[in-house]
Each structure stands twice: as structure tokens, then as C-alpha cells.
Structure 1
Amino acid sequence: MTVAIRDGESAMSFCSRAGQIFGRTARDFCLDMGLPFQAVVDGDQGALQKIAARCRVDLQCLTKASIVKVGERRYHFCGQDFVRDSLARSTMRVCPHCLVEDLNVGDVPEDVRPYGRTLWQVGPIRTCPRHNVALV
């Protein structure tokens, strides 16, 4: 039992949805696999490889949408470097239209259909590129 990784889905979101299938938090799901959740948050290649192998998802899809920690306060995503302050990770931001679409698509239980996009974690991005509406 697993979920499919979705286009642009963050590794944190994937772990959360995969864990939810088993009634586990993302943190507990990672610990069950012998991985610290922080390694997933930091985009650690070894942790992402283990998740991809154990959950049978494409590693390239998982790493493509990961924000990778490259220094104490520096991160890399989609060919761009960021400082920690430019990431919005303490508050979840979402596109309400994307969430409605997520709920209406898929063959997994409805509560694991919505997923977090990595782009929503980039602070300066304030609108959904697909729907052109504010992230809330």
C-alpha cells in the first residue's frame, strides 16, 4: 500500500501522505523506515533514495521537487539558490483550487489525495502559477 508521487510534490508531502495510509505521521513514517524526517526536509540524497526504493516511486521525481540544504542557511531548488529566510515552511500555504482538483482526482482514499507542492514553500511566490490565485 502506497501513494503515487504527484507532479511537483514535496518529499515532505509525499512522506505525509504515504504515512497517512498507515495511520502514521510523516515523522513516524520516516522513523519506521530508519530515517530521520529532517533528512527528508533537507533533501538528503541518501534519505530520498531510501524512500523512493521502499515506496516504489521514481527517485528523479522525488528529488526534482526537493529543496536541498547546501549550507547552514542556504538551500537549492530548481536551479536557484535560496537563503532560509526566503522559504515559507513554518506556515502551510496552499492554492484552494489545486486542493479541490486533488480531492476530485485519484483512486486513493480522499484524505490522502491533496498534496503539498514545493513551490508553495518558496516565500516570494504568492500566487498559484496554474490558477493565478493567491496562496492562502
Structure 2
Amino acid sequence: MATRAEPKLRSRPEWTYAPAPESADPGIRKRYGLFIDGAFVPAQDGRTRTILNPATEEPLCEVAEGGARDVDRAVKAARRAYTRVWSKLPARERGKYMFRLARLLQERAREFAVAESKNGGKPIRESRDTDIPL
């Protein structure tokens, strides 16, 4: 009577463990400035920071790193926009802008979730359902 050989578990060293790749391109640009006064601008002192995908340690993008002078510049721009334009709009008109902004965020929620997954190295489901629950 022949004996059966026990099945052997084979190791697959080429397997890697990382969040599932997404087919949706989040449209991440290579560089981002600070969004001040309606435009992306570099930090006043020129400092930047490289953002890495923690799962792969590959660079995602480079962002401007704002300092105190950049905060002052942003606050002044926001105050100017409020006093010259926003505060003069009727509440109904401001509401239209806010709802339009919400719709734009909802339309691109999947892209934001993919970008957040790559930035945080977490599963898309967590980003989609917890961080970006639109």
C-alpha cells in the first residue's frame, strides 16, 4: 500500500504586502504651492516637503511648506476677500456657492479617497468610508 506524500507549503518571496492599487488616478500633481488669494504660490522662504507613499516609500509629490509670513499673507488675503466680496453677497448667493463647492467635492470624492489612501498608506475602504465620507 502506497503512502501519500504530505502537501508542502511553498513560500512566495516575491509577494509584497501593500494597499491594493487603485485604478482611479487621483490626479496628483508633482508640485503644490500654498493656495493663497486664489492661486498656488510658493512659500515665501522657498521651503518644500516631499510627501511619500508610506506603503512604497515612493514620492507622491512635493508641497510648499508655509511659515509665519505665509500664514500672515493668507489671513490678509482671506480678510480682503471677505470685506470686499463675500460679506457683500446676500446669504442666498453665498449659500449657492457653498452648495456648488459641496457638489464639486462629492463629484471628486473617489479621487480624494484614492489620494488619501496613497498619502496615508491605508486601505481605500477606510479612506472612502471614514476620512472622505461624502
The structure having more radius of gyration, on CA atoms, is: 2
Structure 1 or 2: more strand by fraction: 2
Question: Is the structural similarity TM-score above 0.5?
Answer: no
TM-score by length of 2: 0.27
If the length of structure 1 is used for normalisation, what is the TM-score? 0.27
